[in-house]
Chain A
Amino acid sequence: MAEAYIYDAVRTPRGKGKKDGALTEASPTYLAAHVLKSIRDRNELDTSLVDDIVMGVVDPVGDQGGNIARTASIDAGYDETVGGVQINRFCSSGLEACNMAAARVMSGQSDFVIGSGVECMSRINMGASGMALATDPLLAVPNYYVAQGVAADLIATKYGYDRDDLDAYAMESQKRAKASWDEGRFEKSVVPVTDENGIVMLDHDEYMRPQTDMQSLGALQPSFAMIGEFSGMGAVAVQKYPDIEKVDYRHHAGNSSGIVDGAAAVLIGSEEGGKKAGLKPRARIKAFATVGSEPTIMLTGPAEATTRLFDRTGMKPSDIDIWELNEAFASVVLRYMEQLDVPHDKINVNGGAIAMGHPMGATGAMILGTVVDELERRDAETGLVTLCIGSGMGIATIVGRVH
């Protein structure tokens, strides 16, 4: 089996996913083409060496639809022989795209494939592409469907993470993100977004609130109480998990991931490919796994995916130097840390989506790049990237340094 190497990873800064967000003028194809161009230009890559672009998008409708991977490839001026495929594994789509790219390389079918992702949440609403599991009565009713936020609150209630636990975690995420920006830890990957005239639209993660403290977090109203109580999703969660009396609503805008715009791309290739392109590999994708998990609580998949990965590789938690779990909700990370016994100072060391936002289709590719950067910075060996996924799934990827 061939090895799959990471030759480069780039991401846009994340713009607020609102109508006044700094990136909302940049269309999804513009952002996607932007990271593809960056990968090409900074590596002086002959794009005809690339076979395909795999691009994660969660809501592939409107300008995010119509196979945006191919559209972006054309827009970025890649050689016309480079194909494109858009994929969707919900919040992990960006990492799934990289895993698929790696699999193509590992199986010897390609020398270079780009794993990538994009989501313009300021333009395209979450759920815009439909979700029969939530809306089709013959699916939603028998399967105890609840919204993701309610599932996050279910985890917090069931496993006993109170509001202070969640808020303290969120505050730490903000602190770490700020420190990382201040120290320039993201410089390697972040490529500012400019307009066609070269004017910078955004060069930093716009969503961050470094001034956040426990008091300001404490003042926020729970986000999912309304949907949980009014529509009855809280009661549905209890029907599935009858050992709790009710769901306590503890997540809010400050301890959940932010809604943002952004894109990322990772150049993945074989040793041969690297030689042809004259590039040196930065890291190796060692192994990856996905898993389905119980769909109502929905967000506990990362631990199961990680376990599956450890079982397959024979690796163990102590082999992992740094851990990166997408901060979809604070309870997801707290539960994972507890299940796998991961110390807080080894996970999400540069902050995460609570502070910087979660552009759904792109996040997985973004945090893979973050881990590669951090392994190099620390001169550490091995990192594990994982995300929780809608409808009850998990994904995990192990990356190692190349010397």
Chain B
Amino acid sequence: MSKFFETDVDDDGIATISWNMIDYPMNVLAVVALQEFGDLWKAYVTDNSVKGIVITSSRDKFIVGADINGFGEMQRSSAGKLYASGMQFHGLLREIEKEAKPTVVAINGDALGGGLELALPCRYRVMSDKDGIKLGFPEVMLGLLPGGGGTQRLARILGPREALPYLTTGKNMRADKAKKFGVVHEVVPHEELLKSAKAAILEKRVSAKAPWDEKGFEFLGGPAHSREWLETFGGANAMLRRETHGNYPAPKRILAAVYQGLQLHIDKALSFEVRQFISLVHGNESRNLIRTGWFSRNAANKLEKRPKEIPATEFTKVGVIGAGIMGAGIASCTAQAGCDVVLIDNNQEAADRGKQHVVDYFARQVSKRRLTKAAADKIAARVTATTDYSALEGAQLTIEAVFENREIKAKVTKATEAVTDGKHVFGTNTSTLPITGLAEAAERPEEFVGIHFFSPVEKMPLVEIIRGKKTSDHAAAVAMDYVKLISKTPIVVNDSRGFYNSRVFGTYTREAFTMLMEGINPALIENVGKATGMPMGALELVDMFGIDTAHKIAHATIDEVGLEELKARGEPVETIEVVDWIVEEQERVGQKMGKGFYDYGPDGKKTQIWPEVYKRFPTKGSPVDIEELKKRFLHIQALETMRCMEEGVVTAADDADVGSLLGWGFPPFHGGVISYAETIGLSKFLAECEELAEKFGKRFDPPQLLRDMVASSESFYPEEHKPLQAAE
């Protein structure tokens, strides 16, 4: 019996090949399955008693794409080998497309990537009306392109203008759009899917040829080099450059595959697509995006590092103390996950305001059609706003999000412990105060853990879990279970000032302050920051974060660690001058005030860098090495991460990388802070840091950990960094 397919030939002589990869969580285009699929299909084609073939799936989803586990091997394959296997896949799809005996696809669930590519050569495509079925090409998010004809067939069906957004962003297509565009011919009631697919064959509604195999085929927005075509690509190229700064080869090669492919016959177009695909497979960007954005992130989501011996937590009630924006956001996420929430504040008005924030948030989701009104009401009803700590009784976890003040935090810790039992875990959402110190206020410091959310809570995908000195495995496991419950990604780190995220992220903004003081043009500082792939310029980012907060943290650090000690460590403490100037003298604290390093319009959007910034930090005329500025911005973050690893704050490279991508938007194409250094090559990275240290100071001194690793030719990611096999 097949481990991949169920097959059947009915009385009308219609064969069905139904994907059912029983050893896999979902149907994927694994090489072995594809081989068997091809054999099955060919056998039905040659069987004269079979009139037509239906392809479908016995699982909830149709086929969700390629088998990403095979990617490592692909990356190490020669270009020649990849071309041959790519063309072999195209060969099968073209056979299906050109075979006189009709093949119809019955899309019963999500058809993504290779799944959709298998569907498109079928000359009749029926789709179930089941709610929320996703059709799409998500390859671009992994730094790849749909290499199974997706770029060519979608562009021929939709025309380049409509097709490009789906291909270059990976966004999904809904059933109504799919029908409108002709990606599917029919959308039918779910239970009639197979019947409808078969009917198309019996009623001879399947066209004799694919449109692009007809003579005189024309695509929308064509022909190539028409005015509309030129405008489409002229605009798309600039837009792409604006969005990617040239850092992402995948969308560029998708555009190229469509641009060149539409000028070619379909067979050569598919070949050109394979060539583009190979160059992406062999690039650093896809490896980095897949390693961190897929494998490491999935592992974190699945809690692979969770202490195994602790039983999984069943959450029925979670407490949230402090009903400000942060607390309300935490309450929203928790309630949405189906858990009751007790939202506590000092007085009922404050608690109610927090609850209102929850209600408003879900109302916005309703107006954006992400939720039904009934579902939103049900979620909001799970949140109880109160001042009464006794309501926490029976909760598995309570998270405080009160002011960053030790006394207040101590008070709520004690109040919570008074009404909860020994297994209850107390989580503190602080971004600055070390956990071990806060835990001193607790009766049960072993059940005290840091749970660091990012703002806005509803949107930000990462939660940093911080273990204090005494935090138990149980507390860490409960915190991890909770993060999984609310569908966010956890990383677990050990206690340190600023923990991991804030500590490393701060180096980016401080480097910008240093540049300002050196007399580097502020516009250049911002533009170079963006050119590295960081989501924003550093000054814009600190404006958004709140310069007052940065100012407070900087002064607290100086007070608590001591100026001399910081200087001894090579910290650029002199940059305090910049924040003091703008916060204390100029009283500009950032975007929330409508004035910071930038000016903001009435709509809250930035209009320009505040002209006084140019006056206070006049630009020196000397030529600037832009590549060097880029290195300063990114190397400093990688270095600080390595220091975190050296100190045991972060214990694994994948945690560091996932945290950097999701926490502060470190350029995803680098795969995270550590992947960035790995991609450069550790010994080269070390040498560059030494050079930077020579020129710009001790903060670029490589940590011993790095020196040792380079000396012994170690790597943070040994497996994936085997050199590419020589081309055949």
Interface residues of A (CB under 8 A from B): 125, 127-128, 130-131, 134-138, 140-142, 144-147, 227, 230-233, 235-236, 238-239, 242-246
Contacts and interface: CB of A to CB of B under 8 A. Distances in A.
B252 A135 contact: no
Contact of B242 (A125, A128, A235, A242): A235
B576 interface: no
Interface string B233-249: 11111111111111000
B523 A135 contact: no
B241 A135 contact: no
Contact of A141 (B241, B523, B527, B608): B241
Contact of A145 (B229, B237, B259, B528): B237
In the A-B complex, the 10 residue pairs with the closest CB atoms: A232-B242, A242-B527, A137-B255, A140-B237, A235-B242, A231-B235, A135-B233, A137-B256, A231-B238, A233-B238
Contact of B256 (A128, A136, A147): A136
A348 to B, nearest CB: 31
B531 interface: yes
A242 B245 contact: no
A234 B254 CA distance: 23
Contacts of B237: 134-135, 137, 140-141, 145
Given A137-B256, A144-B241, A245 B230 contact: no
Contacts of A230: 235
B521 interface: yes
* Consensus secondary structure, chain B interface: helix
B639 to A, nearest CB: 24
A242 B240 contact: no
B225 interface: yes
Given A141-B244, A145-B238, A236-B241, 20 more contacts: A130-B225, A130-B230, A135-B229, A135-B230, A135-B259, A136-B260, A137-B240, A140-B234, A141-B241, A141-B246, A142-B246, A147-B234, A227-B235, A231-B238, A235-B238, A236-B242, A238-B527, A239-B246, A243-B523, A245-B609
Contacts of B521: 243
B234 A231 contact: yes
Interface string B253-265: 1011001100000
A145 B260 CA distance: 18
9 contacts: A127-B230, A141-B244, A142-B246, A231-B234, A232-B239, A232-B242, A242-B531, A243-B523, A245-B608
B613 to A, nearest CB: 11
A140 B238 contact: yes
Contacts, number: 93
Contacts of A238: 527
B252 A137 contact: yes
A243 B521 CA distance: 7
B524 interface: yes
Contacts of B252: 137-138, 141-142
Contacts of B240: 137, 141
Contacts of A239: 241-242, 245-246, 527, 531
A224 to B, nearest CB: 12
A135 B650 CA distance: 46
Nearest to A238: B527
A142 B245 CA distance: 9
Nearest to B608: A245
> Which of B524, B608, B626 gathers most chain A CB within 10 Å?
B524
B615 interface: no
A127 B531 CA distance: 30
A127 B231 CA distance: 10
B227 interface: yes
